[in-house]
Amino acid sequence: MLILEYDKLYRFDLKNQIKLGSLTEDQIKRCMMDGRFASHYMEKELVNWFPHLKESEDSCGPFDHLMDNQKIDHKNCTKGGVKFMPSKMLGTGREFNSEEFLEKTAEMDYVITDITTYPIIGVMLKKGVELAKNFPNGKIALASAKEMLYGKCD
């Protein structure tokens, strides 16, 4: 059984692991590289990979998982990077509230899944306060997210 540890990179190969009706592997890849689709799948899969991670009982609540008593929110790394501000601050016409953002990240940690490399999925658990300190607007550009997950490439 894998134990999800902070700042440790885990990699999982999903090649030929996902079956969706009669979709081809290429069609599934296109679905899995879309954060809107992948988030629902990944939230369930994370519990299979890390059994001590428990799904939140409220599937549309303020967080996705619990690890012991720690609230964990799941975020995908997509071609747009990682956005870890509260959902109500995402989208057209919505505004970023720094005070609310800092309150949430003080009590929340984040499990980030890199879906840009599908079928290989990178997974890392990060402290919310650390992310907020390093990315105070709640956004991590793709290059910075890749560096955070995989380290600097020379």
The number of beta carbons lying within 10 Å of the beta carbon of residue 98 is: 13
Report pLDDT for 86: 76
Which CATH number is 82's domain given?
Answer: 3.40.210
Look at residue 11 and tell me if it is in a domain. Answer: no
Q: Mind listing the pLDDT tens digit for each residue in 5-63? A: 999 999 999 999 999 999 999 999 999 999 989 999 999 999 999 999 998 876 666 78
Residue 153 has pLDDT above 70, yes or no: no
Domain range for 141: 24-150
The number of beta carbons lying within 10 Å of the beta carbon of residue 22 is: 6
Beta carbons within 8 Å of 5's beta carbon, 6+ residues apart: 125
Look at residue 51 and tell me if it is in a domain. Answer: yes
Q: How far apart are CA 4 and CA 6, in angstroms?
A: 7
Look at residue 4 and tell me if it is in a domain. Answer: no
pTM for this predicted structure: 0.91
The number of beta carbons lying within 10 Å of the beta carbon of residue 51 is: 11
Q: Mind listing the pLDDT tens digit for each residue in 54-110? A: 988 766 667 889 999 999 999 999 999 999 987 665 665 667 778 888 999 999 999
Position with higher pLDDT, 139 vs 86? 139
Among positive and negative, which fits the CA dihedral 67, 85, 122, 59? Answer: positive
CA distances to 69, 84, 100, 138, 154 from 76, rounded to whole Å, are: 22, 9, 21, 13, 25
Look at residue 105 and tell me if it is in a domain. Answer: yes
Look at residue 99 and tell me if it is in a domain. Answer: yes
State the total domains in the chain: 1
Look at residue 44 and tell me if it is in a domain. Answer: yes
Question: Residue 97 corresponds to which tokens in the numbers above?
Answer: 């509230």
Look at residue 15 and tell me if it is in a domain. Answer: no
Question: In this structure, what DSSP letter does residue 89 have?
Answer: G
Report pLDDT for 56: 83
Look at residue 90 and tell me if it is in a domain. Answer: yes
Q: Mind listing the pLDDT tens digit for each residue in 109-124? A: 999 999 999 999 999 9
